[in-house]
Structure 1
């Protein structure tokens, strides 16, 4: 399995996940031309994409879904709540999925996992193939016991590090938006990401990608400094996804237990 980010942040998000047989795109928060240009930088022919998976209806995840799906004639997988938000009318190949009910696209097993976020019926995704397990876990206000249980034992993880608590408190957002971002239905802070990784332990994790960083309330170096000590200070296991360029392809090898 391998994965790459086209970009991650409040201005747009999209993630490619590839197995031996399948290639899927999780969200498309970029306009059609921008999304295609970002795929070209990753060496991807977009006609190879098998499906587009949607996490929720917010614009930074949905902006380019309709245009890309129509251009490439892609099936779009999303929850009924996301569909009923009414932002994707006109699509012909819509597959409604049930949270917590596994489905497959070719050899890629996919679990849509319920998360707490201020959307109609949001999910995040787990991917499994050939004994490898990737979690895409962004856009959640807090970590529930359910999230802890479902996303454990991943070999790779894209994990939300949206804001630094101090930067959010002292930053330019109005009080109502600060409450929304930092609330139980908003976004994860660096400290919450740290607590989650500490709870799990990180021996199995080959790659951790700090994702969905706010350009107003976080800095890449803060996210990196917060997470790196949990990965034995091994910088090769940790990346920060940028809004303008995401991250290049990351490969997950067969599952191995790290020996300390």
Structure 2
């Protein structure tokens, strides 16, 4: 089982997860040509995807889903709330999922789980192949006992480190946007992410990737430092997903 990112941040997100002969794209916030180019960087064509799973309706996650799915006849899985809010899914084979019920796509078992975020029915996902499990948690304003139960025991984790609290407070955003980003339905701050990671840390956790790092209210160095302290490792040992290039394949 392996995973890679097309890019991560407020300008577009996409994560590919592969097990056996199955490859699934989680979210697509990029234009059609850009999505194809980013997939090619990972050695993939769109028609090699089994489909797209969507977390929520914000444009940096769903903006490119309709065009990519229509062009390459890809099925799309998403919650009823996300489907109701989606703007560009005409002609797309949509499969509505229960936010608590696992489903299978080829060699992958996919477990959605709800998160607190300012969207209609947002979810994140845990991907498994029967042996290894990858947890993904971004676009949540806080952790919950259910989130931590879903991510317990994962072998790898893609974890939001959206902002640094001091940078957000002293930064250029208007007060209303600062409250939204920093609120319990916004995005995880470095310290929140580190505290969550400390509770999830276990001996088999092979890789933790910092993701959805704000280019205005955070730095890769601050995100690395926060997670490294939780893992008791060197800052350089914590990879960070970037907006422009995401990250290359990681095997677990």
Shorter-normalised TM-score: what interval? over 0.9
SS of residue matched to 1:239: coil
State the 1:191 CA deviation.
0.3
In the TM superposition, structure 1's runs of 4+ consecutive aligned residues that sit over 3 Å from their partners are: 234-237
Q: RMSD of the alignment, in Å?
A: 1.2
Check whether the contact 1:206–1:237 (CA below 8 A) recurs between aligned residues.
Answer: no
Match of residue 238 from structure 2 = 238
State the 1:186 CA deviation.
0.3
Match of residue 44 from structure 1 = 44
- Equivalent residues, number: 252
Check whether the contact 2:224–2:236 (CA below 8 A) recurs between aligned residues.
Answer: no
Match of residue 108 from structure 1 = 108
Match of residue 134 from structure 1 = 134
Check whether the contact 1:208–1:237 (CA below 8 A) recurs between aligned residues.
Answer: no
Q: TM-score of the superposition, structure 2-length normalised? A: 0.97
Gaps of at least 5 residues in structure 1 are 253-260
How far apart, CA to CA, are the structure 2 residues paired with 1:69 and 1:115?
A: 25
State the 1:46 CA deviation.
1.8
1:1-260 matches, cutoff 5 A: 1-234=1-234, 238-252=238-252
State the 1:89 CA deviation.
3.6
Check whether the contact 1:202–1:230 (CA below 8 A) recurs between aligned residues.
Answer: no
State the 1:144 CA deviation.
0.7
- Mean Cα displacement is larger for which, 237-246 or 93-102? 237-246
Check whether the contact 1:231–1:237 (CA below 8 A) recurs between aligned residues.
Answer: no
Query: 1:167-207 CA distances to partner (integer Å, 9 max, x unpaired)?
Result: 00000000000000000100000000100011122422111
How far apart, CA to CA, are the structure 1 residues paired with 2:236 and 2:24?
A: 25
Gaps of at least 5 residues in structure 2 are none
How far apart, CA to CA, are the structure 1 residues paired with 2:166 and 2:196?
A: 19
SS of residue matched to 1:134: strand
Query: 1:63-83 CA distances to partner (integer Å, 9 max, x unpaired)?
Result: 100000011100000000001
Check whether the contact 1:202–1:231 (CA below 8 A) recurs between aligned residues.
Answer: no
SS of residue matched to 1:150: helix
TM-aligned CA distance change 1:131 to 1:235, over 3 Å: farther
State the 1:130 CA deviation.
3.3
Query: 1:75-109 CA distances to partner (integer Å, 9 max, x unpaired)?
Result: 00000000101413413310000011010001211
